Structure 1
Amino acid sequence: MTSTVRTFWRARLLRIFPGLVACIATVSFVFAPLSALATGRRYAFYDAVLFFLSNLSAGAPGVALRGIPGSLDGLPDPGAWNGPLWTLFWELVCYALAGTVLGVLRPELARVALLVPFLVGSAFVFTLDMGWGPVRTPPDWPLVPLLTFLAGSLTYLYRDRISASQVAVGACAVGVIAIGGAGLVPSLIHIPLCVLLLASSLYLPLASVGSRFDISYGVYIYGWPVQQVLASMGLHTAVPPLFFAAVSLLLVFPVAWLSCRYVEMPARGWFRRWKDPRRAPQLA
């Protein structure tokens, strides 16, 4: 909204790719070989290099490899060292859509330009939720995440028309529960959930969380690999799922902090210095 399309893209790419490159390098040449060595599974450096190079495409369909053969044999998902990476490609598609629309059109027209595909896509997914669709959708079907992204964009663009009162927060919470109970999450959850999360943050004492070190991206890209390392050690069969999830979170938090502090923040600092040396962040 406040920058050119070129500046927007430069900032987005620097936000995504430095952390991504560090993550897939860590998975390929640290996590995978160490876990294979500890458990006796197979690890081939050539396969790891292919995994690394292919995932520089940000999980592009038909390009990115999901796993390193043999390194996760016997696990519930032996073919994926970093399952969520496929969504990064579609996130870039979303940035292309929203960035182009906002860069070309005035805000009033941009609202409509993003609202129309959101409504059409939601209507189509609703037919599938109701069982009227001709085919079942695969788990990595991109339309539902695209609708979620558009919902966030629309919530921002229509923020002057969306109430953030406690009544509105309560209504959205009820709506989210009702939609979940009705089994219509893929088609109808996006706007109510987005408004609920954003509006409720005004009332919860969480404003300082992530204000200096935003580890959300690190949790996103390292969460699955950390869980696969734990699973390769057999933890998933030794403890209840909730305990496994808690341990995974506790271990991924410091990894995500390291990514934020020593990879993501320096990359964004370089961008700010490139634009204006006076705006460079001071990293304590």
Structure 2
Amino acid sequence: MRQNNFDVLRLGAALGVFMAHGSLFYDLQISSFFNGVYSIGSLSVYVFFFVSGYLNFQSWNRGPQWASFGTKRALRIFPGLLVAAFVSVFVIGGLMTTLDLTDFLASEQTWVLFLNYASALATQNDLPGVFANNPIPHAVNGSLWTIKYEVMMYVLLVVFGMAFGLSRRLLVAAVVVSAAAFLLVKDPSLDEGAVTWRDFWQFAAIFFAGAAFNYLPVNQRHWVIPPMLVGFVIACTGTNLAVVQGGVFLCLPCAVFLLAYWRPLTRIRLRHDLSYGIYIYAFPVQQAIAEISLRHGISKPSYMAMALGLVLLLALASWIFIERPAIAWSRSLVTSFHRHLVTRPS
């Protein structure tokens, strides 16, 4: 039996983003929580970043060399992302565009978006003649915008690990500074450019909270219940935006940590890790099925079921044919790298 539930939590987070976007794309309806500040999608993204911080801290500690760590992270992110960018732009975009396919492929905008997605920047989001009349128009794969922040967290983890060591004090300081910057700094000029700094700070706070939770013994996890409840009450009752967000920052990491080691969940056995595939394919698939459904009067439940089925198939294919082989390759490369270091003459 598994000793933790991180795979289940990531799958739940991916499906949370799917559910939030699915309703929004069909009729602009979205469920919100904590006085309307957060959706299930935004909370699910926080779960991803917390779990990533927790597990990547362990990965760094097992082999604190930037080359091996970077190889593993790059081969976990970019092979699947590259194929998803191709499918989003050339397959789904090519099928859904109102332009002639020759004109679509000849458009500079088409190729620019592919490169923008494949590089993990995701600062652009529209294709010529694609989803122009959808409830959320001109958005092809909006979920990819968070990946660049994930990569930035990896870089920071390596920098901190090499320069200072990932001590408890350093990680707590990173959480406090990041959370304070997100909650207190309100400069609109910081939201211009490829990186939105408020987004950077919120994800850094959650990611390094995940890393810091490694210092809390699992057998003493019940100690996080009181701060979790306090954070939940603050998030539910706060009338100030920063107060609500602060409550979520306190509540959510504690809740995820408790669920990660909640024994009933360990009975769920997952043969395949579909979470990343769901995340990188759901948005364009849902947009395409939404356009078809609205055009032909297909009901919202039927639209959601069709989209989920297709997304799960794409996620399964991504895991079996792209992600899992890339992970195996990264392990082989890291093993060869370590063997070279051991056998290299001094």
User: TM-score w.r.t. structure 2 length?
Assistant: 0.66
Give the aligned partner of residue 330 of structure 2: 271
Give the aligned partner of residue 52 of structure 1: 114
Give the aligned partner of residue 212 of structure 2: 154
Deviations 1:94-149, CA, capped at 9 Å, x for gaps: 111112212333343xx322322321232233337xxxx46599696422222222
| Deviation at residue 180 of structure 1 after TM alignment | 3.8
Q: Secondary structure at the match of 2:262?
A: coil
Contact map agreement 1:32 1:71 (CA 8 A) in 2 = yes
Deviations 1:205-235, CA, capped at 9 Å, x for gaps: 3336575411111111112111111122134
Mapped partners of 2:315, 2:269: distance in 1: 12
Mapped partners of 1:29, 1:186: distance in 2: 39
Mapped partners of 2:235, 2:302: distance in 1: 28
The farther-off stretch of 111-120 and 230-239 is 230-239
| Alignment pair present for 1:28 and 2:89 | yes
Mapped partners of 1:35, 1:223: distance in 2: 16
| Deviation at residue 177 of structure 1 after TM alignment | 5.1
Mapped partners of 2:249, 2:334: distance in 1: 35
Selected match of 1:2 from 62, 66, 74: 62
Deviations 1:235-268, CA, capped at 9 Å, x for gaps: 497545x775555434322211111111000011
Contact map agreement 1:226 1:251 (CA 8 A) in 2 = yes
| Deviation at residue 153 of structure 1 after TM alignment | 1.6
| Alignment pair present for 1:112 and 2:173 | no
Q: Secondary structure at the match of 1:206?
A: helix
Contact map agreement 2:231 2:249 (CA 8 A) in 1 = no
Contact map agreement 1:155 1:191 (CA 8 A) in 2 = no
Contact map agreement 1:121 1:147 (CA 8 A) in 2 = yes
| Deviation at residue 7 of structure 1 after TM alignment | 0.6
RMSD of aligned residue pairs (Cα, Å): 3.1
Instruction: Give the partner amino acid of 1:20.
Output: L
Indicate how the Cα distance of structure 1 residues 54 and 171 shifts in structure 2: closer, same or farther if over 3 A, else same: closer
| Deviation at residue 170 of structure 1 after TM alignment | 7.1
| Alignment pair present for 1:100 and 2:159 | yes
Paired residues, number? 262
Mapped partners of 2:207, 2:335: distance in 1: 30
Q: Percent identity?
A: 26
Q: Secondary structure at the match of 1:205?
A: helix
Instruction: Give the partner amino acid of 2:145.
Output: W
Give the aligned partner of residue 80 of structure 2: 19
Instruction: Give the partner amino acid of 2:235.
Output: I
Higher relative contact order (CA 8 A, sep 6+): 2
Mapped partners of 1:266, 1:202: distance in 2: 28
User: TM-score w.r.t. structure 1 length?
Assistant: 0.78
The farther-off stretch of 187-196 and 9-18 is 187-196
| Deviation at residue 187 of structure 1 after TM alignment | 3.3
Indicate how the Cα distance of structure 1 residues 251 and 180 shifts in structure 2: closer, same or farther if over 3 A, else same: farther
1:1-284 map, 5 Å: 1-3=61-63, 4-36=65-97, 40=98, 44-45=104-105, 46=107, 47-59=109-121, 64-108=123-167, 111-127=168-184, 133=186, 135=188, 141-142=198-199, 143-156=201-214, 158-160=215-217, 163-165=220-222, 168-169=224-225, 172=228, 175-176=231-232, 178-182=234-238, 183=241, 184-207=243-266, 209=268, 211-235=270-294, 238-240=298-300, 245=304, 247-276=306-335
Structure 1, gaps ≥5 residues long = 278-284
Mapped partners of 2:307, 2:137: distance in 1: 18
Structure 2, gaps ≥5 residues long = 1-60, 337-346
